[in-house]
Structure 1
Amino acid sequence: MKILIVSDTHRRDENLKAVIERTKPLDMFIHLGDAEGSEHIIGTWVNEGCDMEMILGNNNFFSCLDREKDIMIGRYRTLLTHGHCYNVSVGAEALKREARARGFDIAMYGHTHRPFYEIDKKAGDKDLIVLNPGSLSYPRQDGHKPSFMLMEIDQQGEAHFALNFL
């Protein structure tokens, strides 16, 4: 299973279109907020049969998207959120606490425009994967390279993640 994970495209869709073309066929497409209206057309860019999951960002002013979602990706219970409601701009700690309290295996967020990947280990608790694909349109990390993540579920059901830059 191949999943493309993006965030914060802010209606500057050239890079998103190119990444979709480069990574197709996809089993799932996840947009973690701030598509700013493009959520209505992204479905026409992915291959037929691709599941679409999109959530509301802090700049999706007139959208009916959900603020967050609880989905299953293979055996992994996954939280999709833009992150601004968890103050991720100052760190992912509040998001981690919430994800652990609600029993998630993976927490995906956007908002910061900076890629992030961590396997959070806590004694006596299961590991929590926390990730942010960064931004394809307005990257803010050192080097300012547009970024996205690919998630693959292998034959044994294990998740693997790859951060990619344009």
Structure 2
Amino acid sequence: MRIGIVSDSHGDVRVFEDMLAVPGAADAELWLHAGDHAADAETLRLLTEKTVVCVLGNCDYDEDGVYHETSADVGGHRIFLAHGHLFRVEFGTERLVAAAREAGADIAVYGHTHIAREERGGVTVLNPGSIARPRDERRGSFMLLDLEEGAAPRVKLIRIG
């Protein structure tokens, strides 16, 4: 199963069209939005006509049915999704990994830092960077995650713009 991962769109939904034009992006069966303008997830859902799971970030207002963290069982894996600010990810991912383990997840997805990152270990930790306001490059980024039951996650970081 292919999953698209995006974060920190900050209301700049026009970047979604560039993202979805990347080969393979339209094949995602599910999208994860790791916060900061979680309301942008509705635009992504309309553009893709796919389910979009999102969480609240530090720049979001409360929305009915949207929380600061959630988990999803997908492709034989459990994914823990959080923006990351409540786990202080700017200082390391230890707290995030502990929360993912407590949730029974083998994959943790976060945003907040606007810096793309992938860590392998007991829990695979993924940050797609920011699609609209990257801090690690001039171009925005997102990830495509391919999952199969019993296999290690395959991750591709993609830059747009």
| Fold shared, TM-score > 0.5 on shorter chain | yes
Match of 1:81 in 2: 82
Letter of the 1:100 partner, please give it.
R
CA-CA distance at 1:36 after TM superposition: 5.1
Question: Is it true that 1:153 corresponds to 2:154 in the alignment?
Answer: no
TM-score (structure 1 length as normaliser): 0.86
Instruction: Give the alignment of 1:3-82 within 5 angstroms.
Output: 3-22=3-22, 23-35=25-37, 37-47=39-49, 50-64=50-64, 65-82=66-83
1:133 to 128, 137, 158: 128
Residues of 2 paired with 1:155 and 1:109: CA distance? Answer: 22
Structure 2 counterparts to residues 101-140 of structure 1, below 5 A: 101-120=102-121, 127-140=122-135
Structure 1 unaligned residues grouped into runs of 5+ = 121-126
Q: Given the two structures, how large is their TM-score scaled by the length of structure 2?
A: 0.88
Give a deviation string over 1:93-113, Cα, whole Å, max 9, x none.
211222223332011000000
TM-superposed CA distance for 1:62, in Å, is 4.2
| Structure 1 residue 19, shift from structure 2 partner | 0.9
Contact between 2:75 and 2:148, CA under 8 Å: does it hold in 1? no
Residue matched to 1:123: none
% identical aligned pairs: 31
Unaligned runs of 5+ in 2: none
Which residue of structure 2 lines up, in the alignment, with residue 165 of structure 1? 159
Secondary structure of 2:36's aligned partner: coil
Q: Deviations over 1:95-134 (max 9, x none)?
A: 12222233320110000000010112xxxxxx21001000
| 1:61 Cα deviation from its structure 2 partner | 1.3
Across the aligned residues of Structure 1 and Structure 2, the Cα RMSD in angstroms comes to: 1.8
* Whole-Å separation in 1 of the counterparts to 2:146 and 2:158: 13
Describe the superposition over 1:48-90 as per-residue Cα deviations: whole angstroms up to 9, x where unpaired: xx22211111111142312111111111111000001100111
Task: Work out whether residues 74 and 157 of structure 1, in 8 Å CA contact, stay in contact via their aligned partners in 2.
Answer: no
Greater displacement, 5-14 / 15-24: 15-24
> Per the alignment, in what secondary structure is the counterpart of residue 52 of structure 1?
strand
